Amino acid sequence: MIVGVLNSKGGVGKTTIAVHLAVWLMEQGYATAFVDSDAQKSSTEWIAGLDTAIPVTSVLSSKELIDELRAQDKAADFVVVDGPAGLSEITRTIMLYADVILFPCGPSALDLRAAFAAIKKLGEAQTLRSKNPARVYFVPNKVQKNQRLSRELLNVSEDLGLGLAGWLGLRQAFADAAGQGTVVWKMGRRAEKATFEITKLFKEVFYGTK
């Protein structure tokens, strides 16, 4: 199964979610591979610092991505793809090949505008693969429930016609995990809320549990 983590805007949590998802799937006992299609290669560096056996491949073109997805989809139970910022040909390729798409979005006006533009492209891709559409989940990120934009963000999934499996709060633990080369559930009590939120998200997407 191919899982794409996408958005046309950077800084919305794509890499954080993708890396945590790959490690979580591996810890569930699944053979998991990772494809980094972001030119910054942040997820490649992050996973390299983890004590895991997750194979990571960096790609810079749509053709490379297609070849890698075809190869890894046969070898692994799950292939997690960290998508690039922007609406590139690589982004479109992920939209066409992924079985599941997680679409993180932050609570700012710029984030929401970028989300609507990317989801329009996603709708076009879904039309092309109408016989086998991807399962798509909108993931509100950096949520602060007492802020108006955050509250609006939690309602956007209904307007976009996308599934909403869960949301992530604005947690320092997520930033610290990247800086320390780890994942939040290995950071102890200070990351309990972040751990609860992100594992709840994954369980809802892949196991259908609340």
pLDDT of residue 158 exceeding 70, the answer is no
How many degrees, rounded to 5, is the angle at CA 170 between CA 139 and CA 192?
95
Tell me what the pLDDT averaged over the chain comes to. Answer: 88
CA dist 203 → 36, 64, 71, 87, 127 (Å): 23, 31, 26, 29, 28
Domain ranges across the chain: 10-207
Which pLDDT score is estimated for 150? 66
The third-level CATH classification (topology) of the domain covering 10-207 is: Rossmann fold (3.40.50)
Cα(68)–Cα(202) distance, integer angstroms: 24
Which pLDDT score is estimated for 85? 79
Between these two residues, 12 and 156, which has the higher pLDDT value?
12
| Percentage of the chain lying above the pLDDT 90 cut | 58
Cut 0.95: pTM above it:
no
Cα(172)–Cα(41) distance, integer angstroms: 22
pLDDT tens for 38-76 read 888 999 999 998 988 899 999 999 999 999 999 999 999
Which pLDDT score is estimated for 149? 66
pLDDT tens for 165-192 read 788 999 999 999 999 999 999 999 999 9
Taken in order 143, 145, 151, 156, the sign of the CA dihedral is: positive
